[in-house]
Amino acid sequence: MRQVIGGSLFIITGALAGAGSAMTLTEYLGTEPALAGSPWASRDTSPLSPAHPYVVAHFLNEGRLPPAAGLWREYAADQSDDGSTLSIACTYTLTAKLPTHRWWSIAAESSGRGERPSNSVITSDTVVAEPNGMVTLTISREAVAGNWLKPPPTGTFGLIYTIAGPESEQAPAPAAMFTIKRRDC
Amino acid sequence: MHRVFWVLAAILTALLTHTVFVLVIPKLSLERTMARLSATAGMNTFFIVPREERAALLPSFPANSVVGACAFDVEAGPVAVDANMPDGFWVLTVYSAKGDVLYALDSNQAGTSSFTVTLSKAPGLIEQLRLKPTEEEISATGWSVQTPVTEGLAVFGQPITDADKSRSVAAQMMKSKCRRS
């Protein structure tokens, strides 16, 4: 009897270890920061990457389809440049000098698992940019003049920045990544 | 001796559970999504994805974007996807039922808005050794995709912000077809 109970504990421990390691690796493996010190990170969706099964599992578990490597690259951030979690209680200013010849979009989505994206999106088709390609966006609960990105209605949120083009497999130039400055809270 | 047996059993269980969580559960999740999306249209039929499903599939697209899809099964023979895309930026991505990207194309790479992509089952190892394709067959394989997994999903997307334009884009995209070839 003692042997059966002891054996069951081994099996349960093994199952928990297998599930825990799978969930951890699915969350973190294949993720690389866009730039050193930047809050933006992207997942390597290349089929040649050793992390490929984990990256695909990450997107499918979220009810999404993985972005096609080579077609576009997706970056996600859930913190501002100062390391604080993005919250609807604050106002943020995002700035970048973006290429005019490539389609891009930036979306704000709820952080909670299973939450539907808010679908507040600004794209290269709708943004108002400076003549030199400089783009400034504001994220705030209240509407503001200019490029306004509305955050989800409650809690913390994440940003998804997608950039298309033949160079999408490489990380964009530093100037092409948005800085995320926290202003008022 | 008993302890060694149970340690090995625990390691085996860990490996099995790990594999199920990484390879099986996500695949089942995609299969459920494919079944839900294609429930009305059926397999090998083009349809416009309902608005409430779009944000989950392509969260970087605005709410008024138009997303079309075709859940395909090439087990019984090749399936042709006749794309009829509107002007502007669009993407087409063909996924296997395991979530792997089989084929991806955007408007800049395509250079045309009307084209056909033929999906067929990849030959097995024995078939590959037995069959020697002729030169004509090789030259005819442009815009064709062979998939080792017989089921999958072709997704067409065009990011749109204006609701009025969304309707005309959807009408244009509805001219696309998925059919047995």
CA distance A100 to chain B (A): 14
Is residue A138 over pLDDT 90? yes
Mean per-residue pLDDT over chain B, rounded: 84
Residues 6 or more apart whose Cβ sits within 8 Å of residue B39: none
A42 reaches B (C-beta below 8 A): no
Strand partners, A73: A163
Is residue A174 over pLDDT 90? no
**Residue A112: predicted pLDDT:** 59
Is residue B140 over pLDDT 50? no
Q: A–B: how many Cβ contacts below 8 A?
A: 150
Kindly determine whether residue B29 and residue A63, on different chains, have CB atoms separated by under 8 Å.
yes
Strand partners, B105: B92
Burial letters A100-134, b for 16+ CB under 10 A, else e: eebbbbbbbbbeeeeeebbbbbbbbeebeeeeeee
The structural architecture, per CATH, of the domain B35-180 is Sandwich (2.60)
Task: Please report where in the chains the tokens 């964009």 appear, as a residue.
Answer: A172
- Mutant choice from A3, A119, A150 vs B, greatest count of B C-beta within 10 A: A119
Confidence band for B56, pLDDT divided at 50, 70 and 90: confident
Distance of alpha carbon B25 from alpha carbon A90, whole angstroms = 37
Distance of alpha carbon B56 from alpha carbon A63, whole angstroms = 6
**Residue A185: predicted pLDDT:** 84
Pair B157, B119: CB distance under 8 Å: no
Kindly determine whether residue A126 and residue B62, on different chains, have CB atoms separated by under 8 Å.
yes
Distance of alpha carbon A128 from alpha carbon A122, whole angstroms = 10
Confidence band for B141, pLDDT divided at 50, 70 and 90: very low
Q: What is the C-alpha end-to-end distance of chain A, expressed in Å?
A: 60
Q: What is the mean pLDDT of residues B89-103?
A: 90
**Residue B129: predicted pLDDT:** 56
H helices within chain A, ranges in order? 2-28, 52-61
Kindly determine whether residue B59 and residue A68, on different chains, have CB atoms separated by under 8 Å.
no
Is residue B53 over pLDDT 90? no
Task: Please report where in the chains the tokens 């059993």 appear, as a residue.
Answer: B9
What is the ipTM for the molecules in this complex?
A: 0.83
Is residue A137 over pLDDT 90? yes
Q: Which amino acid is at B92?
A: L
**Residue B62: predicted pLDDT:** 85
Is residue B81 over pLDDT 70? yes
Q: Which amino acid is at A31?
A: T
Pair B70, B153: CB distance under 8 Å: yes
**Residue A26: predicted pLDDT:** 93
pLDDT digits (tens, 9 = 90+) for A35-70: 888 899 989 888 888 999 999 999 999 888 898 887
Is A136 strand, coil or helix?
strand
Residues in chain A: 185
- The residue ranges of every structural domain in chain B are 35-180
**Residue B122: predicted pLDDT:** 84
If one compares A8 and A18, the residue with the highest pLDDT of the two is A18
Distance of alpha carbon A130 from alpha carbon A122, whole angstroms = 15
Distance of alpha carbon A15 from alpha carbon A12, whole angstroms = 5
- Contact list in B for residue A162 (CB cut-off 8 A) is 60
The full set of domains in chain A, from first to last, is 2-182 (2.60.120.600)
Distance of alpha carbon B34 from alpha carbon B150, whole angstroms = 14
**Residue B138: predicted pLDDT:** 40
Q: Which of A3, A23, A65 sits opposite B2 (nearest CB)?
A: A3
**Residue B136: predicted pLDDT:** 43
Provide long-range contacts, Cβ within 8 A and 24+ apart, for A23-26. A23/B21, A25/A51, A25/A54, A25/B22, A26/A54, A26/A57, A26/A58, A26/A61, A26/B21, A26/B22
- Contact list in A for residue B159 (CB cut-off 8 A) is 103, 105, 121, 123, 125
**Residue A64: predicted pLDDT:** 86
A92 token code pair? 């943020």
Q: What is the mean pLDDT of residues A145-150?
A: 91
Percent of chain A whose pLDDT exceeds 70: 89
Strands across the sheet with B79-84, in order? B144-147, B114-121, B79-84, B177-180
Task: Please report where in the chains the tokens 């594999």 appear, as a residue.
Answer: B19
Kindly determine whether residue B63 and residue A119, on different chains, have CB atoms separated by under 8 Å.
yes
Confidence band for B155, pLDDT divided at 50, 70 and 90: very high
Residues 98-137 of A with CB under 8 A from B: 103, 105-107, 109, 116-117, 119, 121, 123, 125-126
Percent of chain B whose pLDDT exceeds 90: 31
Confidence band for B153, pLDDT divided at 50, 70 and 90: very high
Confidence band for B161, pLDDT divided at 50, 70 and 90: confident
